[in-house]
Structures are given as structure tokens and as C-alpha cells.
Amino acid sequence: MAKYRITHATTYQYSDSVPVCQNQLRLSPRDTPRTHCLSHRLTITPRPGTRQRRTDWFGNQVQSFSLQENHRRLSVTATSLVEVLPQSEPSPGETVTWEEARSAVAQQSADDWLEASEFLFDSPHITRGAEFREFAEPCFPAGEPILAGAVALTAKIFTEFKYDPRATNVTTRPEEVLEAKHGVCQDFAHLEIACLRSLGLPARYVSGYLRTIPPPGKPRLVGADASHAWLSVWCGPHGWVDLDPTNNCICGTDHIPIAWGRDYSDVAPFRGVYLGGGSHTLQVSVDVEPLE
């Protein structure tokens, strides 16, 4: 078992006054069979006039707030205490074949086919296509166990693509990533989801945090962590398995999920609109502190 204190601080600084803003946050860690959010606190400055909390279609916690007073600085800090349990994932070679998993959704024969099918089709950031199917097909020969194929696809993306935070932005499409062969965690998750869906396999986007371990002999730098993204593939009777193409691994206790959806547009951690403000600067600091 691992336990973490997570501090996610977001600060907007405006050149002119902002009289009104409306915001949505997805910063509260999800409760899943392997993760438990023991506490969550949200500190907002200036103090908002209204605050609301709800659960969205995918089961993510959404907190909304509005400000109706002039401000030139907005600070939002989410502090969470999370427990992550180890989970025994199925052996990749012992899962059902990818054709069986595809058929179980297409023929509606699986108990959870309806939930899985939500993550089978095109979404705002991801469009299925022949180019994605062709890229993934070498990993999915006939009769290949689905998780073995997904693990091979994860390794293929890790090996053939370069991590480059300057190469893309939040609107970059998987088609561009596939051609340019570089991107960041969001891009690699979108790309692998596009490949799996193009084969008829359900896959969903997961946002969260990743515990980073400093090099030997180096101190852990407070605030040097970052939000992370990966994906889950539906493996039929074995359920959902999380894969991280940025780090070429099946996710474990170092991965803390916040939200999941069809793609990034469903799980953006901070989304809002405001009036005025002129130009603005954004600072984000994330600290994933392991606790004994």
C-alpha cells in the first residue's frame, strides 16, 4: 500500500481586473477498487460567492465556483490525502483474445457491454481511422490475448515516439502526433486510444498524478511533480487495465487517478470563462508527497 499527500496549486495573474468568472474543477481523486481518497480540501482565493459539487456522467467529482467581484489574481489549491492499494492485474498472455473482447461489445454479450461501449466511438479529440488501425495491427495478430496486444502497443509508442513538451499543445490531434512522432503524455494516451478504438476495442482516457522518484543521491523537489495522463483498455471479463505509454508500463501504486472520460475534453482539471482581465499568466505546481 502507498499513501500520498497531493498538493495541486493553480494561480492565474491578470493584467487587468476580472469582474466575473465561472469555473469547473476536476481535482478530487477518484475512489476505485484500488484507490481511496481519505480527504480532499479546496482553497480558493478570493473566496467565491457560490460553490457547488456534483458527479458527472463518468462518475468524476466536479466542483464549480463563481466570482463576481473584481480580482487580478485567482489562486486554487487542492490538497488531497490518497491511499493506493496494489492490485493483481491479469497476466497479459492469459486474457481473452482481442477478437473475443471486440465481439463481446459488438454483440452485446458481456455483462458490462453498455459501459464499455461508451468508450468505443469517436470523441471530441479522437477520431478513429485506418492509419491508427494499420499502426496497431502488428501488435494484434489473430488470436493474440488482448492485454498482450495492448502492452505491445504501449511499448511500440514508447519506443518509436519522442517525449517533447514543446512539440504539441492541448489541441494537437492524434493524427498529427502519429505523423510527427513526438508529444507528451496526453498525446500518447490519445494516440493509443485512437489505435484501440480503430480496432473495435473500448479504451478510455485517464487523468491523474504520477509519483516521480528523484535520481539517486538527489533530494525530492517539492512542487516539481506534474499532472499525468494514461489510458485504460477494456479486457472483457478481466475488466479495465490501466496502461501508461509515456513510461511503458502497466499502472501501479505510483499512479493516482483523478478522472476518466472519452478524452481530455471530459476530464480537464481546470475549465472556466471570465470577463476582462487583459493578458494573463498561469502557474501550476504539483507535489506528490509519499507518506510513511
Q: What is the pLDDT of residue 225?
A: 72
The pLDDT assigned to 167 comes to: 87
Phi, psi of 196 (to 5 degrees): -65, -45
Q: Residue 67 burial by CB count (10 A; 0-12/13-18/19+): exposed, middle or buried?
A: buried
| Structural domain spans, the chain | 2-85+268-291, 92-266
- The C-alpha atoms of residue 37 and residue 20 are separated, in whole angstroms, by 32
**Residue 226 pLDDT grade (very low, low, confident, very high; cuts 50, 70, 90):** confident
Task: For residues 225 and 186, give the distance between their C-alpha atoms in angstroms, rounded to a whole number.
Answer: 16
Average pLDDT along the chain: 94
- 242, with CB counted inside 10 A (0-12, 13-18, 19+), is buried
For the stretch 246-289, pLDDT in tens is 999 999 999 999 999 999 999 999 999 999 999 999 999 999 99
- CB 5, CB 289: distance < 8 Å: yes
What is the assigned CATH class of domain 2-85+268-291? mainly beta
CA dist 50 to 1, 21, 23, 66, 135, Å? 37, 11, 11, 6, 48
Tally of CB atoms within 10 A around 208: 24
**C-alpha to C-alpha distance for 17 and 256, rounded to whole angstroms:** 36
Q: What value does the mean pLDDT take over residues 140-153?
A: 98
**What percent of the chain has a predicted confidence (pLDDT) above 70?**
98
Q: What is the DSSP string of 207-231?
A: EEEE---PPTT-PPPTTBB-EEEEE
pLDDT score, position 219: 65
Q: What is the pLDDT of residue 223?
A: 44
Residue pair 76/270 in contact by the 8 Å Cβ criterion? yes
pLDDT at residue 130 is higher than 80: yes
- pLDDT single digits (tens) 53-71: 999 999 999 999 999 999 9
16/289 Cα distance (integer angstroms): 35
Q: How confident is the model at residue 1 (pLDDT cuts 50, 70, 90)?
A: confident
Fold adopted by 92-266: C8orf32 fold (3.10.620)
